[in-house]
Structure formats: structure tokens, C-alpha cells
Amino acid sequence: MDHLTMTHGLALSNLPVFIAQEYGLYRQAGVEVTLLRPSRAPDVVNFLRQGEAAMASCAFTSLMPLYEEGRSIRIVAGAGVLGLFVLGQAQVGGWDDLRGRQAATLRMDPLEILLYESLTAHGVPYESLQVRYLSNPRELSQAFTEREVEVVTHVEPYATQLIRDHGAKILSNGTDRWGASYPDCVIAARVELLQERPEVVKAVLRALLRAQAAIEHDLAAACEAVAGRYYPASAGDLLQAAASMPPGVDIRDQGEVILGRGAAMAALGYVRKLPDEGFLDFSLLEEVVREERDLWASLRVRAADPEDGAQPPREA
């Protein structure tokens, strides 16, 4: 059986990656997968850069500098959609009230880009905030709960905990900027893997589609399977948070959303050139969709039907 090392992020958008492992779906698809767990958000891209992992589930904007460097990285599918938030302490009045306030985010992450684009849209200069860059979701939560910052960008399941337990005010959930089904973590692969072992990539994508189907069929069981092991949250917390961050492997209709964030990445100095269509390669995903037509058609969150253009239901 083929073997693959894959790394991943720490958000709920990685749930299909974990369920495919816990339910034995990678092995059923014909590949043995070792998951390489990061301790900090930048570790994921570094594992790809250094070749320690051949595939990753990671924040899509963090891959843009790697692509610009000429590294052989492509986005081949999605993992989860929605679930990003800009949150304020109770005393924060709104966007115009953010000037001079302390904020915390993750560098080069869609969370930072959402904050930047939201501020820009409301006429508030990004540099007017005092932005702290932290390294993982736990640090973001801690900075907010200990009131070290007045604004934080966060992701599920941690955002729901801050809203429910600490009175965080929602300033944005991303849909006002990026639409009703934007991606968070995407599946990336090294080009040499795509070229030399495409069947292994297809096996991973097949397993992820099956994991999404399993999650949609019994979300409570999926949350029980990963609570405490992959997330510092109870199954109940995950179940509540999952309503705003469903799995979404087929993101072929989200290319414009992904590439559109390049302008903000350039404005913040992370890239010099905007990513082009070569950043995306959904060809193997398209093959798997054709081969698993019934499975794909059963999914609640997926791209438009390529044959008839019908829009499937998408859960917010």
C-alpha cells in the first residue's frame, strides 16, 4: 500500500482530514496516511516547503508566498468552508471604533486578510490598529479572554467558544466580504507528487469526499471521534461550531475567491505578484468526482454540477 505524509491546520475546517484517518477511509481508498501535527500555524507551510509533508490541509493564503517562490505547490481541493470571524470585546462599537485598538491575528492567514479587507471596506486604515501576530488558535483565544486585545480574528470551533462564553461581538463572519461558501483550509500537494503519483493524490481526495459524506450523515458521531484528540473542545462544542463551518472538499467554484485575496496579500507585503490560475489544479478532483458521481451528488456542500449547472444546497 502506498504511504503519504500529510500535515494539517488546527481549525474545524480540517475535520474531513481527521475523520478520514479515524474512520480508516484513507486505507480503504488504498493509501496509508501519516498525519504530521503542527504546533504553530507557520509549521504547516514549512513542512511543505521542506518536503517533510507531500500534502497539506492549510489556510489558502499562506500558500501564496510559497507559490511565488517557485515552489512546486498546487491547491487541489478544499477541506472546510466558512467559519472565519472578526470578533470584538463587548465595548467595541463597530468598525469606526477600531482605530488605535489592540488586535490579534495570524500572519498571512485568511483571518488576517479578512481583517484587512474588512477594515479597508469601512475606510479604516489597517495601520491604525495595533496588530499583534500570534502563532496558533490557543494564543488567539487567550489574548481575547485575558483582555489583552480588543479585537481578535478567529476560526471555529474557538470562535463559538468566545461568542458563547465570553461575550464576543461578531464584526464579520466573512460572508459579507467573500460570499456564502468561501473556503478556509484547502488541500495542497507538491507538484512532484501530482506528476509522479497521481493515483495516491486521487486516493486521498476520494477518502476526503467519503469523510465529508460521513460527517454530513452523522455529525454528532464525527464530533465524538475527534473531540479532545484533535481539538481542545468537547463534542458538544464541536457540534455547535460545525453549523458555521461545514466540510467542503469540492471547491472548484471558489477559484475566484481564492485568487482574489492576492491583492490584499500584496498590499500587506507578503507577495509581489498576484497568484495566477496555475496556483489551482482541480484536474484530479474532477476525475474523482466523475468516478464517484453518486457520492459527490449526495454531498450538501459542493461546487455546481458541471453537467447541468445546477446549484446544490450549501449550508451556512
CATH code linked to domain 2-81+182-298: 3.40.190.10
Q: Give me the sheet containing 73-78, strands edge to edge.
A: 31-36, 2-8, 55-59, 185-190, 73-78
**Average pLDDT rounded to a whole number, residues 244-256:** 98
What is the per-residue burial (b if ≥16 Cβ within 10 Å, else e) of 168-196? Answer: bbebbbbeebbeebbbbbbbbbbeebbee
Instruction: Provide the pLDDT for residue 312.
Output: 47
Q: Which CATH architecture has domain 84-178?
A: 3-Layer(aba) Sandwich (3.40)
Beta pairing, strands 31-36 & 2-8: parallel
**Entry pTM:** 0.95
Find cell 500535515 and name the residue. 7
Instruction: Provide the pLDDT for residue 313.
Output: 43
Domain spans, the chain: 2-81+182-298, 84-178
Which CA distances in Å does 78 have to 18, 74, 92, 248?
14, 12, 34, 6
Q: Could you say which DSSP state residue 254 is in?
A: G
Per the rule left: phi > 0, alpha: psi between -120 and 50, beta: everything else, 174 is left
Same fold, 2-81+182-298 and 84-178: yes
Per-residue confidence band for 307, with pLDDT thresholds at 50, 70 and 90: low
Tens of pLDDT, residues 54-86:
999 999 999 999 999 987 899 999 999 999 999
